[in-house]
Amino acid sequence: MYYDDLTPYEYTHDEVWYDRSTGMHFLRYEPTYQRLNIGWLQADQPWTAAPAPEGFVSRLLAIIDAQDVNSMLGHHDCDLCSTPLPLSHPWYEPRPGHQRASANTSEIRVPANDNIAYAAPHLVGHYVTDHGYLPPQPFIDAVLAFDPHSPWPTHCPQIRFPWIPSQARLRFIDDDDLWNDHAGT
């Protein structure tokens, strides 16, 4: 799928975060922040290639490794690659950007000023490292300013994002939850 950079994110209404560190846990809530698209590239649409500022790539990949948002059934291949890289994981396992997977299902959220969170697919790590994609400067600034391992106060310490509503609670995924979760998105 393709979305212009900095357009409102409307792919899903709710936010669903996964914590796979202690089993298959997730939490879901209606966001109170505005979400803007970044890095939803497609081969037949224009995008910018340029060298990335120092520190940007490593920080972006750290965020991708730390976050797992709105993971969907199935996978999305990079269609900028002339020959997609082989799938090295089943769809439900995280695909960290530094492994340069060519397919992905999950997203990240990068908080910025004015109650904005940038919404990017995990594939943005592959686009930046393998295709030289340079996102818009506001996103670069937000990534450089955001440490996904900051010890901010939270009732869900494995969810690496500062704007989780206080009433949101982690739930364990059983078979029914998995079905209901994805069927409702």
DSSP string, 5-38: TTSBP-S-SSEEEEE-TTSSEEEEE--SSEEEE-
The nearest distance, CB 10 to Zn ion, in angstroms, is 25
Q: Which of 80, 134, 144, 178 binds Zn ion (CB under 5 A)?
A: 80
The nearest distance, CB 81 to Zn ion, in angstroms, is 3
Per rule CB under 5 A, is residue 57 in the interface with Zn ion? Answer: no
**Closest CB to Zn ion among residues 14, 79:** 79
Q: Which of 81, 116, 144, 170 binds Zn ion (CB under 5 A)?
A: 81
Per rule CB under 5 A, is residue 78 in the interface with Zn ion? Answer: yes
Tell me if 112 sits within 8 A of 95, measured CB to CB. no
Buried-state track 119-136, b at ≥16 Cβ within 10 A, e below 16: bbbbbbbbbbbbeebbbe
Tell me if 103 sits within 8 A of 121, measured CB to CB. no
**Closest CB to Zn ion among residues 24, 80:** 80
Judged by CB under 5 A, the stretch of 10-18, 76-84, 162-170, 177-185 that binds Zn ion is: 76-84
Q: Are β-strands 116-121 and 34-37 bridged in parallel, bridged antiparallel, or unpaired?
A: parallel
The nearest distance, CB 44 to Zn ion, in angstroms, is 14
The nearest distance, CB 9 to Zn ion, in angstroms, is 22
Calculate helix-pair angle for 56-66, 123-131, nearest 10 degrees. Answer: 150
The nearest distance, CB 84 to Zn ion, in angstroms, is 7
**Closest CB to Zn ion among residues 20, 89:** 89
Return the HEC string of 126-160: HHHHHHCECCCHHHHHHHHHCCCCCCCCCCCCCCC
Residue 59 phi, psi dihedral angles, 5° rounding: -70, -40
Binding-site size, Zn ion (CB under 5 A): 3
Per rule CB under 5 A, is residue 85 in the interface with Zn ion? Answer: no
Which residues are at the interface with Zn ion (CB under 5 A)? 78, 80-81
